[in-house]
Amino acid sequence: MRSPIDAAILGHFVPATAGLANHAVEAAHGAFLKWRCVPAPLRGELVRCIGNKIRLRKTALARLITLEAGKICSEAEGEVQECIDICDFAVGLARQLHGLTIASERPKHRMMEQWQPLGAVGIITSFNFPMAVWAWNAMLGLVCGDAVVWKPSEKAPLCAIALQRLVEEAIDEMNDTIPAHVCQLILGEHEAGERIASHPLLPLISATGSSRMGRVVAQTVAARLGRVLLELGGNNALIVTPSANLDMALQAIVFAAVGTAGQRCTTLRRLIVHESLIDQFAERLVQGFDNVPIGHPSDDGVLLGPLIDADAYWAMQQALQAAEQQGGQRLTGGQRVEQGVPLNGFYVRPALIRVAGNLDIVREETFAPILYLMPYAELDDAIELNNAVSQGLSSAIFTDSVREAEAFLGPAGSDCGIANVNIGTSGAEIGAAFGGEKDTGGGREAGSDAWKNYMRRTTNTINYGSELTLAQGVRFTL
């Protein structure tokens, strides 16, 4: 594999064979059978230990993300911080995996729900969050009593190997209460992902990546009646209304559109601006885009590092061409940058394209810094534009009107999993559930009650009387 910074070879990895992958899944399943009986707060101790190890090596791990995924330092450190935060969250959660007690209609009966460990969980992750997505899934899975089988992106295996080493160190240090094989790593390309998606010993597959990948995985897992947790592509929009604080909006828009070189699932891709201010705002945006510091992601002050690879660059060029053919007007950007950046990396100027509405190309997620700018007249039209794409991950409105904000957040408002007011589309916190609707896959990860995905619910009815009373008044004699 190569670094996106300068295409330098970072190493070679040998994909796991089918036999090796199967062995890893079986080992994880065996570990699960023991792990599920370890009390949850003790499971939390393992996660605490993993979190401490990540905390101690935060800078080195962030450097690895920069090297392998091309993220600027502050974003790479932010990603490692997310791993630390989810560990802390999971440790607390280990004492809160509680169910309900429910009133029974029968005398001397009690009903309750319990949340039980589910099994070994298959985790397939994307290149753009090579550490955090694993942590969101694995740390919750571990406190829930599950084992973990991780298939990272083939573009970021070093990040995965580094984290796996820390997990193994933590397991070694925590004496023999921890089954050794509770966290497994399988390196490989899509075939490795397909293998774990079809494995009957993995009751849940959590898959993060493109909607195309999600469709394949969902069908494979459905064929064996397994469960999926899907975190797929986004096509996120932001509405700027006449009452918005435009300075604040501008800053939020530029970061949301160009952060991680437009390669976040929550990247801002569509900007819907009121017709009364679109011309004036477009000028400010062009200026903002043209001033974005582009360069080596480790250099101070750089906001826009490289695209992941040549394929990403050519996909961006094709999208720009299609946008112009479909009537879009390029206001700025899109060119490759070759001066002042490392050789052989794919560095680009962020592109701003004015369009009349959701052109065909606008409906697609192009994983690059391209922002489509479109006008609206009435708020209902803006919300309709926001919703009229197949993806449904993140969305935002900038407004000082409580009516507009609440309309956007209400039942006829944004249809996305994330709807924000006066803040951009990217940069979610781990305390809340994260995920989106429609082609984004419907999954929710990280905070809130996302932990329930990693457990199975049992309903228990307990009769503490001396008579058998059937539900719904049913009687019979023998």
- Whether 45 is catalytic is no
Q: Write the binding mask 411 to 450 for ligand NAD: x where contact by CB under 6 A, - elsewhere.
A: -----------------------------x----------
The single residue of 68, 75, 82, 231 carrying the catalytic annotation is: 231
Pick from 179, 233, 345, 392: which binds ligand NAD (CB under 6 A)?
Answer: 233
**Phi, psi angle pair for 274, to nearest 5°:** -60, 140
Q: Report the nearest approach of ligand NAD to the CB of residue 220 (Å).
A: 7
Selection from 130, 148, 128 nearest residue 138 by Cα? 148
**Interface segment toward ligand NAD; rule CB under 6 A; list 46-54, 191-199, 282-290, 296-304:** 191-199
Any idea which residue has 């984290």 for tokens? 163
Q: Report the nearest approach of ligand NAD to the CB of residue 263 (Å).
A: 7
Q: Give counts: helices (H), strands (E), the chain.
A: 13, 21
- Spatial distance between the Cα atoms of 197 and 221, rounded to a whole number of angstroms: 6
Total residues interacting with ligand NAD, rule: CB under 6 A: 29
Element holding 140 (H helix, E strand): helix 132-143
Q: Does 393 bind ligand NAD (CB under 6 A)?
A: yes
Give rounded-to-5 percent helix, strand, coil for the chain: 40, 20, 40
Any idea which residue has 């201010």 for tokens? 277
Length of the chain: 478
Q: Report the nearest approach of ligand NAD to the CB of residue 281 (Å).
A: 26
Distances (CA, A) of 367 to 86, 214, 263, 315: 26, 16, 5, 8
Q: Which of residues 9-38 bind ligand NAD (CB under 6 A)?
A: none
Q: Does 231 bind ligand NAD (CB under 6 A)?
A: yes
Q: Does 409 bind ligand NAD (CB under 6 A)?
A: no
Pick from 38, 204, 213, 229: which binds ligand NAD (CB under 6 A)?
Answer: 213
Q: Where are the beta strands (DSSP E) in 128-246?
A: 147-151, 183-185, 204-208, 227-231, 236-240
**Interface segment toward ligand NAD; rule CB under 6 A; list 10-18, 148-156, 163-171, 400-408:** 148-156
Q: Report the nearest approach of ligand NAD to the CB of residue 393 (Å).
A: 6
Neighbours of 297 (CB within 10 A): 30
Q: Does 355 bind ligand NAD (CB under 6 A)?
A: no
Pick from 70, 117, 203, 209: which binds ligand NAD (CB under 6 A)?
Answer: 209
Neighbours of 64 (CB within 10 A): 22
Q: Which of residues 263-302 bind ligand NAD (CB under 6 A)?
A: 265
Q: Report the nearest approach of ligand NAD to the CB of residue 116 (Å).
A: 26
Q: Which of residues 101-140 bind ligand NAD (CB under 6 A)?
A: 124-129
- Spatial distance between the Cα atoms of 258 and 371, rounded to a whole number of angstroms: 9
SS3 284: helix
What is the distance in angstroms between the CA of the first residue and the CA of the last residue of the chain? Answer: 72
Q: Does 241 bind ligand NAD (CB under 6 A)?
A: no
Under 8 Å between Cβ of 37 and 30: no
DSSP 8-state secondary structure symbol assigned to residue 2 = B
Q: Does 153 bind ligand NAD (CB under 6 A)?
A: yes
**Which residue, 49 or 261, has its beta carbon nearer to ligand NAD?**
261
Binding site for ligand NAD (CB under 6 A): 124-129, 151, 153-154, 189-190, 193-194, 197, 208-210, 213, 216-217, 231-234, 265, 365, 367, 393, 440
Kindly list the catalytic residues. 231
